[in-house]
Amino acid sequence: MDAQMKRGLIEACILKLLLRGDSYGYQLVREAEEVLSISESTLYPVLRRLETAGALKVYSMEHNGRLRKYYAITDAGRNRIDEFLVEWQDVMKVYDFIRRDEQ
Reduced 3-state DSSP string for the chain:
CCHHHHHHHHHHHHHHHHHCCCECHHHHHHHHCCCCCCCHHHHHHHHHHHHHCCCEEEEEEEECCEEEEEEEECHHHHHHHHHHHHHHHHHHHHHHHHHHCCC
Return the CATH number at 87. 1.10.10.10
pTM: 0.85
pLDDT band at 103 (very low <50, low <70, confident <90, very high): low
Per-residue pLDDT tens over the stretch 12-69: 999 999 999 999 999 999 999 988 888 889 899 999 999 999 999 999 999 889 999 9
Number of domains in the chain: 1
Say yes or no to pLDDT of 102 above 90.
no
Per-residue pLDDT tens over the stretch 14-27: 999 999 999 999 99
Residue range(s) defining the domain that contains residue 52: 3-100
